Amino acid sequence: MDIKDIVLYLKPQLTRVEACINTSLKSDIPLLDSTNRSLRENGGKMIRPVLALLAGQACGSLTEDSIRFAAAAELLHNATLLHDDVVDGATERRGKPTVAALLNGSAAVLIGDFWLVRCMQVILDSAQHGNQVIRIFAKTLADLAEGELLQMQKAATCDTTQADYIRIIYNKTASLFESSALSVAISVHAEDTLRDAVTAYARHLGLAFQIRDDMLDYESDDALLGKPVGIDLKEQKITQPLLCALEMVPAEEAARVRNLVAGILDHPELAEEVHAFVIRHNGFSLARQKLDEYVEKAISCLDPLPESMEKHYLTKLARFVGNREK
């Protein structure tokens, strides 16, 4: 399953979003400008702008501010990726060397900061709702920082619970999905019922997106993912597949496995034993069940929306998120 038909349907609007992004990133510093162009050429699927545009059109008629807010979501997303690569020590993203690997961590942080500031400027230059939307994105920025720090804390103690995990993935991923949809819904003056519907949809979609991402980390085709697999375990992160497997065994066995995870930094070979534990206790299939639940919750949130091609494509987007292979 792919979303090529959705992207084709939104091509005129996405072209405007991309133009807004590219204009906002221009710089007379050659190193910064060339790096930004390279990052844009190696960009992802623009899931957040796609979500934002569909949500906005499902609720009303897009405005120039709608385009700006969709662009801001992608700018913020990529800023966080630049920072994440430094935090994680990542050398590859989407099959290409990271900025941190090509230049250095300091350069990656500074370029990430530049994208973040441009995100804020794009919002503040809007005709309406700038102050309201900047507060929404500010909350998401706080969520992102708290989510990363909570995940670091839990990786150190290896005592992540389901509640911890859901908070982490909401903060790290779903919050920006939420802001993307909500900001564009605001820009089209959506009725409260419709605005709340697309916001709830986006929240559940974001949770499903991150669960699928965490499941992909257990899969074995590096070329398919465009990044090394098994990174989460090597960083002592307890995600949905392992959490599900831990719930299937007695407390003593769960404690033993958590101790294995705690030792992975010093003994990376332990990751193979933990991976085998997840497979043996159906952690992957149980995680799939939870993923499917969030996809269905997202789709059910669309009920208040009138029937439209956008509503159809929002449903398809949820199915895509649940089944994507990279």
pLDDT above 90 for 174: yes
277-304: average pLDDT:
97
Query: What is the share, in percent, of the chain residues with pLDDT greater than 90?
Result: 88
Half-sphere exposure of 290 (CA within 13 A, CB side): 22
Rounded Cα–Cα distance for residues 156 and 194 (Å): 41
Which of 50-59, 78-87, 171-180 comes out lowest in average pLDDT?
78-87
Cα–Cα separations (whole angstroms), residue 247 to 41, 275, 297, 305: 43, 15, 23, 37
Retrieve residue 97's tokens: 């060397």
191-195: average pLDDT:
98
What's the confidence (pLDDT) of residue 2? Answer: 79
Residue 86 banded pLDDT, cuts 50, 70, 90: very high
What's the confidence (pLDDT) of residue 276? Answer: 94
Rounded Cα–Cα distance for residues 283 and 264 (Å): 19
Cβ–Cβ under 8 Å, residues 125 and 81: no
Give the domain CATH number at 42: 1.10.600.10
What's the confidence (pLDDT) of residue 222? Answer: 46
pLDDT above 70 for 128: yes
pLDDT above 50 for 117: yes
Residue 1 banded pLDDT, cuts 50, 70, 90: low
Cβ–Cβ under 8 Å, residues 40 and 293: no
Taking only Cα atoms into account, the Rg of the chain, rounded to an integer number of angstroms, comes to 20
Rounded Cα–Cα distance for residues 69 and 79 (Å): 15
What's the confidence (pLDDT) of residue 133? Answer: 98
27-47: average pLDDT:
93
User: Number of folded domains in the chain?
Assistant: 1
Assigned domain for 325 exists? no
What's the confidence (pLDDT) of residue 225? Answer: 39
User: Mean pLDDT in the chain?
Assistant: 94
Residue 92 banded pLDDT, cuts 50, 70, 90: confident
* One-letter-per-residue 3-state SS of the chain: CCCHHHHHHCHHHHHHHHHHHHHHCCCCCHHHHHHHHHHHHCCCCCHHHHHHHHHHHHHCCCCHHHHHHHHHHHHHHHHHHHHHHHHHCCCEECCEECHHHHCCHHHHHHHHHHHHHHHHHHHHCCCCCHHHHHHHHHHHHHHHHHHHHHHHHHHHHCCCCHHHHHHHHHHHHHHHHHHHHHHHHHHCCCCHHHHHHHHHHHHHHHHHHHHHHHHHCCCCCHHHHCCCCCHHHHCCCCCHHHHHHHCCCCHHHHHHHHHHHHCCCCCCCHHHHHHHHHHHCCHHHHHHHHHHHHHHHHHHCCCCCCCCHHHHHHHHHHHHHHHCCC
- Residue whose structure tokens are 């500010």: 138
Cβ–Cβ under 8 Å, residues 155 and 263: no
What's the confidence (pLDDT) of residue 112? Answer: 97
Assigned domain for 326 exists? no
What's the confidence (pLDDT) of residue 177? Answer: 98
Assigned domain for 108 exists? yes
Residue 11 banded pLDDT, cuts 50, 70, 90: very high
Assigned domain for 307 exists? yes
Q: pLDDT per residue over 202-247, tens digit each?
A: 999 999 999 999 999 887 544 333 445 578 898 999 999 999 999 9
Assigned domain for 288 exists? yes
Domain that holds residue 17: 4-319
Rounded Cα–Cα distance for residues 296 and 321 (Å): 11
pLDDT above 90 for 134: yes
pLDDT above 90 for 176: yes
Cβ count within 10 A of residue 188: 19
Residue 94 banded pLDDT, cuts 50, 70, 90: confident
73-102: average pLDDT:
91
